Amino acid sequence: MVNSIRLFVVVAALSGVAVVAETEPPSSHDVGVHTIDGVTLTGQWLGIEPGVGMRFHAPDGERIIPLDELMRVVFAREIVPASGAVLFHLRDGGSLHGDLVAGAVDGFSVRTAIHEGATVRFDQLVAIQLAGASRYPRAEELFRSAMDDRLPGQDVLITRHASEAKSLRGRLVSLDLNEGKFVFGDRERSLASEKVYGVVFAAGAAKADALPMMATLADGSRFSLQLTGATRDALTGTSSLGDSVTLPLELVAAIDFQSDRLTYISDLPISGQRVEGLLHRPWAVRKNQSVSGKPLSLQGRVFEKGWGVHSRTALDFSLRGAYTTFLATVGIDDAVRPRGGVVFRVLGDDKVLFDGGSRKGGDPPVDVRVDVSSVQNMTLVVDYGDGLDISDHADWADARLIKPRTQANQSRP
């Protein structure tokens, strides 16, 4: 479980945002509003008008931000991971903390902060984790390895043991509070649920539908949502599980928006990569993780998206002139700070567009903003710093590209 994280916001100017006459008193929900182009505003949440934008009360009056300019809204409250015994890893990239109430046909009956006895099907899950990682380090290692290497047609069951955990490939038939049934070795076998650390489900042929919003709850749960309404006090919509939900805002810690104008670099194919090392073997590039396989973390801030690399690494991306701006937050990952030292560069068609100079582990992260309006091919380079390649765990965090606005790509919840 992660430590409690207090969410802070900073104030910055925002151009191009409509300011309207104030007609209502502000709500009691303080928010930081982050736009796709890297600007942050503070104010108080007023709601969302579908097809129009988010309304909030800023110090200079009420503002409306178009939906295709929104990246994240952060509420001023703590994230305190739930005490529920089970963590459900969802196919939409989210997760739900809760309890396993009972088994169901090809799924589970679950209780979470927003569900009471809802059914979650196996095919809606990447994995289910029945025990805490800190007590079972070997089981957690096997669980993460199975998550990184999901195979079609094979579930992986990990047993619960501190040092001698095992992983079994086969097919989960059922699992409830007391007992599970798992097929391996061409035979269905029963096992006590208390001996199961987790199950990683087989990779399916289809991916989960991408819904326009990802909500993060105060208990650390995350799930995507098709919004149908957003008032001063609640969000309503359909979750990626297919059920209708009402989220009181007091449960919500953050909302991430999927804008048609924003593309995360980690969602693009790498057209070429060159990885080398001096004193160490070349490190594998990691998508949406640090190079050591942990969450991307810079000075205490955890990022969901980006690339984790080690010096020296160069990643090529084909842009074909389709984007206007590249943005990212870069630095040495918290896992090795204050050690490490690298140079971050952005190249466009082999020309240097950004050179961050030598960045050491003790330096704060740097926000990168580069005009890529006419760039066909972009290269992200992490080069050796003053300390050769020792502890050079470098993060391209929140690395993203912005498209120009057109009538065809207006985002709607």
Cα dihedral sign, 257-258-262-266: positive
Q: What is the pLDDT of residue 4?
A: 30
Q: Give this prediction's pTM.
A: 0.77
The residue extents of the domains of the chain are: 86-200, 263-402
pLDDT tens string 275-325: 998 877 889 999 999 999 889 999 999 898 999 999 999 999 999 999 999
Kindly indicate the confidence band of residue 371, based on its pLDDT and cuts at 50, 70 and 90.
Answer: very high
Contact status, residue 158 vs residue 143, Cβ threshold 8 Å: yes
Q: What is the pLDDT of residue 6?
A: 30
C-alpha distance from residue 327 to each of 13, 201, 295, 403 (Å): 17, 35, 19, 12
**CA-to-CA distance for 331 and 352, rounded, in angstroms?**
19
Assign domain 263-402 to a CATH class.
mainly beta
Kindly indicate the confidence band of residue 20, based on its pLDDT and cuts at 50, 70 and 90.
Answer: very low
Contact status, residue 361 vs residue 392, Cβ threshold 8 Å: no
| pLDDT at residue 19 tops 50 | no
Kindly indicate the confidence band of residue 18, based on its pLDDT and cuts at 50, 70 and 90.
Answer: very low
Kindly indicate the confidence band of residue 161, based on its pLDDT and cuts at 50, 70 and 90.
Answer: confident
Quote the tokens at residue 124. Answer: 């809606």
> Which amino acid, residue 277?
G
